[in-house]
Homo-oligomer: A and B are copies of this chain.
């Protein structure tokens, strides 16, 4: 095999963008041979590929080696399982599933190591985040003591939420900003710091918009190591902030406004505190600005890596198995907030599923929707 025949299911904003990237030849050795969407008009936009009305037909068609799943969240699990069972390589959009139990089901369907199973965590290709992770993993930053990520620049208008009946509903997306916008940030958070031992979150439902799910969250997390952190997000704030601060014994990194600033302690802060013969002095520092150019290959790079994983056994940037972590964090925040209590991790996935099903069953929310003209979707993943 010297090329991969790709089918894309779900031709919404993301699926369409991926199809366009493949058709534009941005990913050598990856060919779009099929598309599937219940909306025939969208399917007809891609005459170069064979069109299907359903994922099932496309999976059974023999026209594809690999599937990219870009449908609404809940069906990631069902389509993903079908595709894995059919022996296809699978690339799934974020979140891999809506809740932890579904993630486990989906991951369990991945039985063969010959099948490549990846997730679209394109922000893992960003040199800023790669550099930070390197500094954490190498020990350069020392033991991590605190992290604070304020990521409130996911501004979304009323029209955005009105543009689809499924949007920002328990039944349609299974959550709001945590499930739709933040999977990337939560994935990176876990990629940097691992699993917290306790989570306390304050999720505000319908704070800025006429929706039934959370559009504004402040979460506090504690780690087995003693590290703690805050994660603050919102789709209502403008201009919005995207500032990630990580404090280790060896200094502080701030990523903000396309800058990577490292203030490096010449002596580890706790060692300095214990040994210096002074009450108020501080470790001498270096102010380091680490030059980084651009924000990496993003979606195209994930597609390239997926293709190379299939053809050359290149290691995956984002194995789908790791997609459970961001879902687990999002679920934990919603559950902690709903119960007004600190949640010990890991929580029981079945319990969360019951809670979510109850939210769906009890929902009386009537979503106002409007037809919208094509919007400049590239603005939506400007992070």
Contact surface of A with B, Cβ cutoff 8 Å: 145-146, 148, 150, 152, 155-160, 163, 200, 202, 204, 207-209, 218, 220, 222, 226, 228, 230, 232, 234, 236-241, 245, 247, 251-252, 263, 265, 269-270, 272-283, 285, 340-342, 372, 375-377, 379-380
Contact = CB atoms under 8 A, between A and B. Distances in A.
Contacts of A228: 202, 204, 218
Given A157-B272, A239-B265, A280-B377, 18 more contacts: A146-B237, A156-B279, A157-B281, A158-B274, A159-B276, A202-B222, A218-B228, A237-B252, A238-B269, A238-B273, A238-B285, A239-B252, A239-B263, A239-B283, A239-B285, A278-B376, A279-B377, A341-B341
A241 to B, nearest CB: 7
B202 A236 contact: no
A280 B237 contact: no
A8 B159 CA distance: 63
A379 B280 contact: yes
Contacts of A155: 269, 273, 280, 282
Q: How many copies does the complex hold?
A: 2
B236 A159 contact: no
A211 to B, nearest CB: 12
> Shortest 6 CB-CB distances between A and B: which pairs?
A280-B379, A160-B279, A238-B269, A279-B375, A157-B273, A239-B263
Contacts of A237: 145-146, 247, 252, 269
Contacts of A272: 157, 238
A376 B280 contact: yes
Contacts of A200: 200, 202
19 contacts: A146-B152, A146-B232, A148-B232, A157-B281, A159-B279, A163-B279, A204-B228, A208-B270, A220-B220, A236-B269, A236-B270, A236-B273, A239-B251, A239-B283, A241-B252, A279-B377, A280-B377, A340-B342, A341-B341
Nearest to A378: B280
